[in-house]
Chain A
Amino acid sequence: MTGPDVTGGPGPQGPQKGGKKRAFGHTVINLAHGSGGKATHSLVESVFLDAFANPILAPLNDGAVVSVAGRPVAFTTDSFVVSPIFFPGGCLGDLAVNGTVNDLAACGAQPLALSAGFVIEEGFAVADLERVVAAMAAAANAAGVPIVTGDTKVVERGKGDGCYVNTSGIGLVDERAVSISGAAARPGDRVIVSGPIGDHGTAVMLARGTLGITADIVSDTAALNGLVNVLLEAAGAAVHVLRDATRGGVATVLNEVAAASGVAVVLEETALPVRPEVAGVCELLGLDPLYVACEGRMVVVVAPEAAEAALGAMRAHPVGTGSVIIGEVVPEPAGLVLQNTGFGGARVVDMLVGDPLPRIC
């Protein structure tokens, strides 16, 4: 293929160093800004990062690590917005607890305590609220974390899409995990994903009912703190990066890591774990599973000498039985994620601008 020999780099959409404010260029927020992709990054960097500027926020990892009496404490927050609220494999409540537990786990921290804030729309059924809350209680129990404080607000009918939940969480960072960061990937590291990708996103898409497609797919929502614990036991400080792949999928997470670490990630298409039903839905709609959301999958970047041990430990854990090595970190082209295709060629796996959309072309 002829073309310019672009050696890559974070590109115009990558995180900008030096704190210079980038013009946002939009006067209204649109849905793409919530998708986790380039549009979200642009929003965060242009509107939030500059206003809140501080060194703890700057790395934009899943959670922040603050020092409390000399100990590293992970602190994270996440808001949960999903339609429909109940879907195969779980509901808003599962996402709300597992999402924050997983962000803490991605910092190498076991969850110590969670908060839960509710914004509930007038008219929302109490029975549904009870179901959501029961799911939260069960998920918190399974993860071994108490929900210790909360808040409730009610908004007028038409202003709330049923129910929104925000959870925040704190946890002590495991001493083996203090160097874990999105910027810590090094050439030679292996990239592991803890199970098949795209389950959650497709389950929710189908559950909306607007596409007329059915399949036996359930959300993969799960707490990953137990998995991270056994991983750290087996591989310790050889674990360089932990990220839970949520909206934007594995591709988005790996792009963030490649940019933050100044490296490239090469994936092997034939190694990517995708359930046949998820693959079928994606082919029908023209979606790429690499970009479809997960809610119970950890992406692990680990030093090569510990890769086998890490994989073994993950596979032995109930939520990690489908763990596979999907790629490797290489020095160049820095900031890009590439893929060797099953066909024998190669392609760039860029970050999407907004949500992956069904296409006809």
Chain B
Amino acid sequence: MCLGIPGQVTELLDDGSQHAWADVSGARRRVNVALLEDEDLKVGDWVLIHVGFALAKLDEQEAAQTLQLLEGMAKAYTDELEAMANSGTSAPGQG
């Protein structure tokens, strides 16, 4: 019940069927976007695809923020490692 993959909307079908074409790394599938009718979906948006239906529109800003937070942690850790190496002691998670 969990397999959902982000895909980019490449075409919105205006045949009343509430479908769009979505692309996942070059694989294309017709996706039902009825669940996102309040989202003002546009070509170029990213959606979460599960069994041929779009369940959610991806919030690219939130994604960036999540990654930024994790990047911050990663940077802080490497800075610590450097500082420790320069002072000759070992950092947490090492040796």
Q: A284-B49, A360-B51 are in contact. Are A213 and B3 (CB under 8 A)?
A: no
Among A211, A216, A360, the residue within 8 A (CB) of B26 is A216
Q: What is the CA–CA distance of A286 and B51 in the complex, to the nearest angstrom?
A: 11
- In Å, the complex CA distance between A212 and B29 comes to 6
A120 at the interface (CB under 8 A from B): no
Q: Which residue of A lies closest to B26 (CB)?
A: A277
- Shortest Cβ distance from A285 into B: residue: B3
Enumerate B46-92 residues with CB–CB distance to A below 8 Å.
49-52
Assembled-state Cα–Cα distance A280/B5 (Å): 9
User: Who on chain A is nearest to B21 by CB?
Assistant: A214
- One of A275, A280, A361 near B3 (C-beta < 8 A): A361
Query: How far does the alpha carbon of A361 sit from the alpha carbon of B3 in the complex, in Å?
Result: 5
Q: Is the CB of A212 within 8 A of B30?
A: yes
Residue of A nearest to B7 (CB): A284
How does the 8 Å CB contact mask read for B1-38 relative to A, with 1 for contact and 0 for none?
Answer: 11101010000000000000001111111100000000
Interfacial chain B residues near A183, Cβ < 8 Å = none
- In the complex, the answer to whether B29 meets A276 with C-beta atoms within 8 Å is no
Q: B27: which A residues are within 8 A, CB to CB?
A: 213-215, 277, 280-281, 283-284
Chain B's interface size range is 10 to 19
Q: Residue of B at shortest CB range from A283? A: B5
Partner of A276, one of B5, B25, B51: B25
Return A69 CB to nearest CB of chain B, in Å: 53
A359 at the interface (CB under 8 A from B): yes
> Chain A's nearest CB lies how many Å from the CB of B4?
9
Answer whether residue A279 sits at the interface, using C-beta atoms and an 8 A cutoff: yes
Q: How far apart are the CA atoms of A131 and B23 in the complex, in Å?
A: 33
Residues of B within 8 A of A359 (CB): 3
In the assembled complex, the Cα of A277 lies from the Cα of B2 at a distance in Å of 22
* Residues in B lying within 8 Å of A, measured CB to CB: 1-3, 5, 7, 23-30, 49-52
Q: Which residues of B contact A284 (CB under 8 A)?
A: 5, 7, 24, 27, 29, 49
Report A-chain residues with C-beta under 8 Å of the C-beta of B3.
286, 359-361
Residues of A within 8 A of B24 (CB): 280-281, 283-284
Give the distance in Å from the alpha carbon of A211 to the alpha carbon of B28 in the complex: 11
14 A-B pairs with CB atoms under 8 Å apart are A211-B29, A214-B27, A215-B26, A216-B26, A275-B26, A276-B25, A281-B27, A283-B5, A283-B25, A283-B27, A284-B7, A284-B24, A359-B3, A361-B1
Q: Do A214 and B1 have beta carbons less than 8 Å apart?
A: no
Closest CB in chain B relative to A278 CB, distance in Å: 8
CB distance from A58 to the nearest CB of B (A): 41
Chain B residues, CB < 8 A from A211: 29
Q: Which of chain B's residues have a CB closer than 8 A to the CB of A214?
A: 27-29
Residues of B contacting A276 in the complex (Cβ-Cβ under 8 angstroms): 25-26
Best-surrounded residue of B1, B25, B50, B52 (most CB of chain A within 10 A): B25
Given contacts A212-B30, A212-B52, A360-B50, contact A280 B25 (CB under 8 A): yes
Q: What is the distance, in angstroms, from A81's C-beta to the closest C-beta of chain B?
A: 25
CB distance from A218 to the nearest CB of B (A): 13
Residues of chain B within 8 A of A280, CB atoms compared: 23-27
* Chain A hits for B25, CB < 8 A: 276-277, 279-280, 283
Complex CA distance for A232 and B82, rounded to whole angstroms: 48
